[in-house]
Structure 1
Amino acid sequence: MFPIFDLTLRLNGFPIGQARQKLDSILAVNDRDYETFLEEKKRELAHFHLKHNPFYQALVGKDAFENWEDLPIMRKIDFQRPLAERLSNGYSEKKVFVNKTSGSSGDPMVFAKDKPCHALIWANIMRRFGWYGVDFNRSLQARFYGQSMDWFARLVLRLKDFLSHRYRFSIFDFSDAGIEKILHKFRSTQFDYINGYTSSIVQVAHYLKRKNLVLKDLCPSLRVCIVTSEMLFDDDRILLEQYLGVPVVNEYGASEVDVIAIENPDGRWLVNAETCFVEIVDENGKVVPKGQQGRILVTSLYNFAHPFIRYEVGDYGVLDLSGTAKHPVLQKLIGRTNDVAVLPSGKKPAGMTFYSITKKLFGDEGNVKEFVITQTQLDTFEIEYVADQALSEAEKNNMEKVFGDFLEPGLHYIFIRRDGLQRSKSGKLKQFTSRVSS
């Protein structure tokens, strides 16, 4: 098959051949020397932006630094200005890769990567997906991502999907009829792998369970499912692997920087230390030891067009003690930093705590298909859910008791049954939201 994906990258000015050579040189650095290698790359990047990027120089407040941790933590709010004002000298919007975040955790943010950096990122993604037999030039992807409602933007996206060897499913209709259309496509198409939002693929798996079907029986060519963008819970992984009939791989990334971590075939969540540097810091911005929870910072090591240095992606995580400089391991991804509940007692549990408890309480009987939780007042939580039958009073009372025992008594819960849940424009399902200021 003609390597159309590589050709598309080259035609758009992304030097994929050179990027692969550079990636090979990075991978050739041995474990013993990798920490020194990373330090050199970090300092080279920061010194470049302090010299050639007025935006970053103003943010730092000086044109030099001694200690890495003295550099400021960059946040999305720092980028609320025109992109042209944030680019390094010598770069323009016409000469870089420009995109924007989905805005699922706030306002969308326009960002840029220089073309060699973007090519290097793709070379590394292709290498890591290759662990599972995925070849971007040959393997057909079943894609569960969002898409624009604008007809022209959708037309452009269809062309992009064709050139990227993937078929994009609608993720805005998970009725039985909508999922049957999805399954019909799987029956008639030799898909090699699935990639997309966790919650969307879980909906398909729930339907397969109700119908006592396994997707690989319908589509024997299917090899693997790689989920991204949303939390993957242990019971969802079990459900997916049983009813998709293929291994499930957890990917974690941020479009403005890179793939941050992806599971390897041994089940270890390997951090991308080839093109990124990942730190875990406490609430005061100090690096915490491995094994301790904190805010995730990411530095895009090869992006010279636009600085992402010690950039706070908005998540909490833990690095495993077993990791090394060359092979760091993400032990746990806990959830968004802005998704923290504030209780009347002053206790501040992570919002995903509510979601995890509720998920287990609902069980896996097929009645409740999806749900989201919103804290509307200090002591009040709305639980919106999609179900064939409304929850009984006994089920609601049991949930309230468990929440009271686990968190604190005196909290109020409002249960609202919906025909469907509101997703972001990108199609993501935001599972917990707090409207209460911390």
Structure 2
Amino acid sequence: MNLFDLSLKLNGFPIKEARPVLKEIQILNDEKFKNYIENQRTTIVNYHLKHNPFYQSLFKDAQFSTWNAVPIMTKRDLQHPLVNRLSEGFSEKNVYINKTSGSSGDPFVFAKDKFCHALTWAVIQDRFGWFNLNFNSSKQARFYGIPLDKKGYYKERFKDVLSGRFRFSVYDLSDATLENYLKKFKTTRFDYINGYTSAIVQFAKFLEQRNLVLKTICPTLKACVVTSEMLFEDDKQLMEKQFGIPVVNEYGASELDLIAFQNPQDEWVVNSETLFVEIIDADGQVLPYGEEGRVVITSLYNKAHPFIRYDIGDIGILSKESTFQKPLLQKLIGRSNDIVHLPSGKKAAGLTFYYITKSIVEDDGNVKEFMIEQLDFQTFKIIYVSNQELSNQQTKTILKEIENYLEKGLYIIFERQPRLKRSQSGKLKQFSSLLNKI
């Protein structure tokens, strides 16, 4: 029985109607596809200009003229009551409602009309199908957080049953807990792993310490799909080695759709069917393929709520090999608010610290996880979980590398903790700056 499709139908999401629409888009040739995108962009802008007073207030011109003149939306623009942002004909009773995780510092509640949400699931099912995974029949090992309140907890557990998945909590990643997770893999015919990158990496390290390959324990495994957090190349290699299956990088946003998904050829394919993705500079100008900038996304089908030229808060690059129909994400660098501001005035990506410390502190397997906080312009804290404290030599090496990569005169605090603080959803933020809170 197709329980997953049935659950979508019972909630009013017309998945059977959405799939043919997606297929019709996918069979278009290059020229017709470009026309489709341009027409759909115009259609969604004009729809919201006609039916959405909130969007009208953001739009400076009374009429839609050229695409580049369409205003760029930010998350802070959307921090108003949802009822004030919905289009005419939509209410909180006839839309899909959810909220963002708040990892960008600007959380908000959003809505999708039900057909748009069904299209979202059609795209997700299509991409997972690249690896012969079926939401109605494939068993998922899910490394995610879960609400701790009674109602939220049982709601998620019920959804797990309908979706054919078993949830492994990411709040406790001790060896004893991971040992129990391993036992579950021995007795369950899982088809794939899905969840937060950092938690799944921890499971791979656990297997490495025991010299185990997961596919020999659970032969039915086909793939591992990681999401929500940065995937580093050496972590990917570790997971593929210890799991014995392909590791697939997913990039998505709850308020939009699945944004990009790696195919079996290891290309990070951007969703061009239901989204239009642009890379822009600091002045809002569209950058050519191959250049780094802010990721701006348009939801082509959401009539309930406008997400048009929406600055998602990420920094990325579209490959020079991209086409209108098949854009390729070359690199996702991180969140635009995860920027290191140094005393000299220099700026750097927050992940610079992560790259500097990662190879050093993980070299001997002592350090399990770590994260970096910027406390003020000169002070940074490296918080880590380990079997033993970092040696003087290790901390000296890290300090030297920080000088090489960034600048001299920075004050670094090393703090060992029994576990790292995750968000309520279970995500791990690898770098965070407190400067905007000072």
- Give the TM-score of the pair, scaled to structure 2: 0.98
User: What CA distance in whole angstroms lies between the structure 2 residues aligned with 1:335 and 1:84?
Assistant: 31
In structure 2, stretches of 5+ residues that fail to align are: none
The aligned residue for residue 244 of structure 1 is 243
Q: Which moved more, 1:174-183 or 1:100-109?
A: 100-109
User: What CA distance in whole angstroms lies between the structure 2 residues aligned with 1:249 and 1:11?
Assistant: 30
User: What CA distance in whole angstroms lies between the structure 1 residues aligned with 2:299 and 2:424?
Assistant: 26
User: What CA distance in whole angstroms lies between the structure 2 residues aligned with 1:170 and 1:197?
Assistant: 11
The aligned residue for residue 412 of structure 1 is 411
Q: Which moved more, 1:25-34 or 1:380-389?
A: 25-34
Deviations 1:30-53 (A, max 9, x none): 112222210100000000000000
Contact 1:51 1:63 in 2 (8 A): no
User: What CA distance in whole angstroms lies between the structure 2 residues aligned with 1:69 and 1:230?
Assistant: 31
The aligned residue for residue 326 of structure 1 is 325
Deviations 1:242-261 (A, max 9, x none): 11111000000111001100
Q: Which moved more, 1:221-230 or 1:68-77?
A: 68-77
> Which residues of 2 match residues 71-86 of structure 1 at below 5 A?
71-86=70-85
The aligned residue for residue 69 of structure 1 is 68
The aligned residue for residue 270 of structure 2 is 271
The aligned residue for residue 303 of structure 1 is 302
Equivalent position amino acid for 1:350 in 2: A
Equivalent position amino acid for 1:87 in 2: L
User: What CA distance in whole angstroms lies between the structure 1 residues aligned with 2:106 and 2:290?
Assistant: 32
User: What CA distance in whole angstroms lies between the structure 1 residues aligned with 2:175 and 2:114?
Assistant: 43
The aligned residue for residue 42 of structure 1 is 41
| C-alpha deviation, 1:152, in angstroms | 1.4
Contact 1:147 1:426 in 2 (8 A): yes
Contact 1:269 1:329 in 2 (8 A): yes
The aligned residue for residue 184 of structure 1 is 183
Contact 1:320 1:328 in 2 (8 A): yes
The aligned residue for residue 31 of structure 1 is 30
Equivalent position amino acid for 1:333 in 2: L
| C-alpha deviation, 1:394, in angstroms | 1.0
Equivalent position amino acid for 1:324 in 2: T
The aligned residue for residue 123 of structure 2 is 124
The aligned residue for residue 110 of structure 2 is 111
| C-alpha deviation, 1:62, in angstroms | 3.9
Equivalent position amino acid for 1:361 in 2: I
Equivalent position amino acid for 1:389 in 2: Q
The aligned residue for residue 397 of structure 2 is 398
Deviations 1:149-192 (A, max 9, x none): 10111001111111111111110011111111111111111110
Contact 1:102 1:108 in 2 (8 A): yes
Equivalent position amino acid for 1:300 in 2: S
The aligned residue for residue 100 of structure 2 is 101
In structure 1, stretches of 5+ residues that fail to align are: none
The aligned residue for residue 152 of structure 2 is 153
The aligned residue for residue 388 of structure 1 is 387
User: What CA distance in whole angstroms lies between the structure 2 residues aligned with 1:207 and 1:38?
Assistant: 46
> Which residues of 2 match residues 246-261 of structure 1 at below 5 A?
246-261=245-260
- Give the TM-score of the pair, scaled to structure 1: 0.98
Contact 2:76 2:106 in 1 (8 A): no
User: What CA distance in whole angstroms lies between the structure 2 residues aligned with 1:340 and 1:204?
Assistant: 29
User: What CA distance in whole angstroms lies between the structure 2 residues aligned with 1:363 and 1:200?
Assistant: 16
Q: How many residue pairs end up in the alignment?
A: 437
The aligned residue for residue 52 of structure 2 is 53
The aligned residue for residue 287 of structure 2 is 288
Deviations 1:195-215 (A, max 9, x none): 110001001011111111111
| C-alpha deviation, 1:61, in angstroms | 3.3
Equivalent position amino acid for 1:206 in 2: K
The aligned residue for residue 339 of structure 2 is 340
Aligned with 2:372: secondary structure?
strand
The aligned residue for residue 171 of structure 1 is 170
| C-alpha deviation, 1:380, in angstroms | 1.2
The aligned residue for residue 5 of structure 1 is 4
Q: Percent identity?
A: 56
Aligned with 1:341: secondary structure?
strand
User: What CA distance in whole angstroms lies between the structure 2 residues aligned with 1:167 and 1:82?
Assistant: 35
| C-alpha deviation, 1:263, in angstroms | 0.4
Aligned with 1:279: secondary structure?
strand
User: What CA distance in whole angstroms lies between the structure 2 residues aligned with 1:218 and 1:105?
Assistant: 38
Aligned with 2:287: secondary structure?
coil
Equivalent position amino acid for 2:161 in 1: F
Contact 1:141 1:194 in 2 (8 A): yes
